[in-house]
Amino acid sequence: MIVFKYFSDIQSLISQQRQNGVSIGFIPTMGALHSGHISLIQKAKEDKQFVICSIFVNPTQFNDPKDFEKYPSTIGADISLLELAKCDALITPSVEEVYPKGGQSVKSFSFGHLETVFEGAMRPGHFAGVGKVMSILLNKIMPDKLYMGSKDYQQCLIVKDLCRQLNLDKKIDFITCPTVREPDGLAMSSRNRRLDGFQRSKVGIIYQCLVSIQNKFMLGNSVFNIVQKECIDLLINKGIKVEYLELANAHTFTPLTEFDPKVKMVILAAVWVGEVRLIDNIIIN
Ligand code: AMP
């Protein structure tokens, strides 16, 4: 794997690959890599892509400066994992490389309703920051296929919308990859490593709650707020603070109060375990 710091250098390699008729698969990340990230690399390899990963902890998407400061950095281990997964190239640009001159000239994007609900409501400015960094990365790399995880489902919808706004939706094939989980169901996340042993032993319940809601819907229970309350009580009993646990239309992100078998739906959760914020979701088709 070749490691780059500058976009101009990786762009030369991308041009060479393109001339050879090779398709470029891109996986943007913030590092502290785990098997969830690696599953995206593996999918891109299966798709016979020339696989480029980026590691950049994007300051503009952190609404909480403490969260940014505490974001884990494990670059040595990340490089080893990427090499094992046969990733072809990695770019680890500096803040100055991504946002020259403090990013004054970076265009802002709006995402309407999508950036005002759930993660958008709880983390003001977060999706504006995601829009900025992704517009820069996509313009620099111009991949054929973009791989992102449904663990961050709302982010997937935002980036798809961004691609439409940039007129890249016909050029870039957006691939949504399933959430990789620990054996107890906990969605893998870079933030999990901030949980202590006791907290870690309890958090499998988050996914179990999502599954139990899905199961109750399948058994014909159609009212969401009853199962929602049961789960919130269960989580609170475990010392887990629920920021939101909601049902929404999986395309429009309109909140729903009833299970509707005709609609693709998503159950979304954001919780606090001590100082650590975790999110998860489950799609109901
Ligand atoms: P991050 O480094 O958290 O910005 O994540 C980089 C990419 O990896 C995003 O597209 C995430 O949705 C994806 N990702 C993170 N965790 C998982 C997981 N557990 N399973 C699958 N994809 C994931």
Among 39, 90, 152, 158, the mutation site with the greatest number of ligand 1 atoms within 8 A of its Cβ is 152
Q: How far is the CA of 152 from the centre of ligand 1 (A)?
A: 7
Residues in the chain: 285
Query: 41 C-alpha to center of ligand 1: Å?
Result: 11
Taken in order 45, 40, 92, 96, the sign of the CA dihedral is positive
**CA 37 / ligand 1 centre spacing (Å):** 5
| pLDDT, one tens digit for every residue, the chain (285 residues) | 999 999 999 999 999 999 999 999 999 999 999 999 999 999 999 999 999 999 999 999 998 899 899 899 999 999 999 999 999 999 999 999 999 999 888 999 999 999 999 999 999 999 999 999 999 999 999 999 999 999 999 999 999 999 999 999 999 999 999 999 999 999 999 999 999 999 999 999 999 999 999 999 989 888 999 999 999 999 999 999 999 999 999 999 999 999 988 999 999 999 999 999 999 999 997
Residues designated catalytic: 37
DSSP letters for 179-207: PPB-TTSPBP-GGGGGS-HHHHHHTHHHH
Helix (H) or strand (E) holding 25: strand 24-29
Output helix, strand, coil percentages for the chain, rounded to the nearest 5.
Answer: 45, 20, 30
For the CA of 32, the closest atom of ligand 1 is 2
Distance 149 CA to ligand 1 centre (A): 5
Would you put residue 185 in left (φ > 0), alpha (ψ -120 to 50) or beta? left
Identify whether the C-beta of residue 172 lies closer than 8 Å to the C-beta of residue 140. no
List residues near ligand 1 (CB under 6 A).
Answer: 29-30, 36-37, 39-40, 148-149, 151-152, 177, 179-180, 187-190
